[in-house]
Amino acid sequence: MMFPMPMPQMPQEIMDAAAANPEGFADAMATGMEAFQGAMEGGGDMGAAFEAMGDVMGPIMQDMGVSPEAFDAAGDCVGAAVGGGMHMGPADMGGPEMGAVIQDAVDMMLPEGADMPAPVMDACMDMGQGMADAGCMPHDVAGEMMPPPGEPGFPLPCDANGDCIVPAGDPAACPADACQPPPMDGACADVGGAMMPPEGGHDHAPMPADAVMPPPMEVPADVAMAPPGDMAAPPPGDMAAPPPGDMAAPPPGDMAAPPPGDMAAPPPGDMAAPMGDMDGNMAPVDADSGMGALGDALGGPMGDPGPEPMVDAADAAIGAAMDGAMDQGGAPAPADPAGDPGAGDPGAGMPEDPGPDPDPSAGMG
């Protein structure tokens, strides 16, 4: 069997009500199914049975926050999705098979990643069994649930006369781009057999040149439909609405909000104004200065500049020669300049000039 493509969307109000009170939602479905079976047992036709179901479920759903407009839209959408699947399913489906079609159809109507609560899915299976118990045949159910062929919301392609080009029970007659298989991990897969396409898929018929897809069903403008593949209204705490402290809102001190003194506003004394002596030696950095704050911002103290940059050998030799010339003779500097009386005197520490050597002949007669 196959399902229509694309599938109708589930109204958001239905999803919200089922998520808020799964047991109550399932009970409403069970009450509606009892009304359906009662109408069928009394000799009513299937159309009257579905109407009785809606008359009972509508007020209950309204008490759960589902507007009458959203409830009616949900009925039309579910009817097209489930009806399209049952139309292409086997003619001899029983209760479990019909329940599996309803379960998979509801699941495929939800946004990607969303799930109906287990009690609601159990009620879907019970609905299929209830239809079978009431004597309903799957293709008759499909014809009653879907709008007439060619009208808005009919889920399958039609010919130029408005007749459906897919005979009931023949999923291969549906063009490949108008239908899709049940989920590989869904309820129909659990049932198996003819509920799943053959290995390699169906040999789908091509789309006739005069085939048309009926227009989409008309949904009231004030009914929000959950877009396929998107959680339209994520529950509280979902990642779509980050909780306080989430990375989407950086906490104080985060790099997204640079602290005072970071690289965006260079503090006084930073690298824009070179520090150190003519030899290229780094001057000590005050930890309380702007550069100290920058070091903290970057994750480490600036007092330790790290490994000295590599210096070219020729530059090192020239620097050493200049240092030697500036030392005025190469004498080492005193360890304690304050205790050296000659400190600051360029001639300090040099031996006195005794003058010219005495003439050895002086005083000789």
The residue among 90, 44, 53 whose CA lies nearest residue 197 is 90
- Once rounded to an integer, what is the mean pLDDT over residues 217-224? 92
In eight-state DSSP terms, residue 170 is -
Whether residue 104 has pLDDT greater than 60: yes
Q: What percent of the chain lies above the pLDDT cut of 90?
A: 60
Output the pLDDT for position 322. Answer: 60
Output the pLDDT for position 43. Answer: 77
Rama region for 211: left / alpha / beta (φ>0; ψ in -120 to 50; rest): beta
158 has which bridge partners?
A: 164, 212
Output the pLDDT for position 327. Answer: 53
The SS3 of residue 150 is coil
Counting every residue, how long is the chain? 365
Output the pLDDT for position 66. Answer: 97
Output the pLDDT for position 301. Answer: 40
Whether residue 213 has pLDDT greater than 70: yes
- Which amino acid is it at 177? D
Output the pLDDT for position 170. Answer: 98
- Once rounded to an integer, what is the mean pLDDT over residues 245-270? 45
Output the pLDDT for position 319. Answer: 59
b/e burial code for range 70-95 (CB count within 10 A of at least 16 → b): bbbbbbbbbbbbbbbbbbbbbeebeb
Confidence band of 44 (pLDDT split at 50, 70, 90): confident
Q: What percent of the chain lies above the pLDDT cut of 70?
A: 62
- Least confidently predicted of 44-53, 206-215, 351-360: 351-360
Q: In this structure, are strands 179-180 and 3-4 parallel, antiparallel, or unpaired?
A: antiparallel
The model's pLDDT over 190-205, given as tens digits with 9 standing for 90+, comes to 999 999 999 999 999 9
Confidence band of 23 (pLDDT split at 50, 70, 90): very high
Whether residue 359 has pLDDT greater than 50: no
- For the chain, the average pLDDT equals 76
- Once rounded to an integer, what is the mean pLDDT over residues 88-94? 97
Q: Compute the 3-state secondary structure of the chain and give helix, strand, coil in percent, each to the nearest 5.
A: 40, 0, 60
How far is the C-alpha of 330 from the C-alpha of 49, rounded, in Å?
115
Rg (CA), the chain: 44
Whether residue 189 has pLDDT greater than 90: yes
- Once rounded to an integer, what is the mean pLDDT over residues 179-185? 97
The model's pLDDT over 266-306, given as tens digits with 9 standing for 90+, comes to 444 444 434 444 344 444 434 443 333 333 333 334 344 44
The SS3 of residue 286 is coil
User: 245 or 329, which is more confident?
Assistant: 329
The model's pLDDT over 126-176, given as tens digits with 9 standing for 90+, comes to 999 999 999 999 999 999 999 999 999 999 999 999 999 999 999 999 999
The owner of tokens 């479990």 is 96
